[in-house]
Amino acid sequence: MKSHSTIAVANPSALGPVTPEEAQLLAKLDLARLPRHVAVIMDGNGRWAQRKHLPRPAGHRSGTQTARTTIETCARLNIEALTLYAFSVENWRRPKTETDFLMQLLREYLRQEMPLIQRNNIRMRFLGRSRELPAGVQQDMREAVEKTAKNTGMVLCLALNYGGRAEIVDAVNEIVSRRSSDNRNAPVTEEEVARHLYTAGLPDPDLLIRSSGEMRVSNFLLWQIAYAEILVTETLWPDFNRARLLEAFVEFQKRERRYGGIREGSSDSEVPARVAGK
């Protein structure tokens, strides 16, 4: 992974035509200080559909359009990595009709969005227990990784059948297995755990965005978000447009990142912010 100092500074013209609101937000941004890794909990598809008196699948399908906008915007702004929480290990508790639809929607998305992924030089990764997913989904995932393996731009991670606790358990079990075979019994370090996480090789998220207003992290990247800036917006995911993403970046740049320390004379409050939906 490239160091942050070698990453090209974002060029706002790469976004193409912008709305007046987007132009105002871009003017407030220091494009040299964008987050390296953005993680997103895409929440609110069902409520969006309910408010519009539509079936839940309509909300999920609309949410894929928002994902497309988010992915392309981040790629064009030279964000190093973007992780989207697409399907958790807990989501299997939903009705089978909904989980079957989500799996089919994922397969459609991977096929239909490949031209956009390639056009934006994006490399794909998948986080989670992929072996528990349907065989067809696994095949599409392998093909997406293979097709984008030589791309050199943003890394797009889709968290599928993902759970933060499951990830840590998997990492620990892999460490134990390797140590048993090597007859080693040294203490486990944080660096060793990080090397065995699904996100190995990527920087930890600088910014965690959650749509729909829920103030929880929902078992997402529990290890990696230890010092991430958390931003919760009331906006439901299908309504999270490019302006809302730029607004999140503006808010991110207002934060003083202390990593557990504190500057003399400053406040020690570290309460996550909630941004009003628009």
Residues annotated as catalytic (active site), given as ranges = 43, 91
Q: Which residue in 182, 240, 269 sits closest to 62, CA to CA?
A: 240
CA distance 59 to 57: 5
Other Cβ atoms less than 10 A from the Cβ of 180: the count is 10
Q: In the sheet where 37-41 sits, what is the strand order?
A: 123-127, 155-162, 81-88, 37-41, 207-210, 229-233, 273-275
- Helical H segments across the chain, by residue range: 20-28, 45-51, 56-76, 96-112, 114-119, 135-148, 164-182, 190-195, 242-254
Answer whether 78's CB lies under 8 Å from 9's CB. yes
Other Cβ atoms less than 10 A from the Cβ of 88: the count is 20
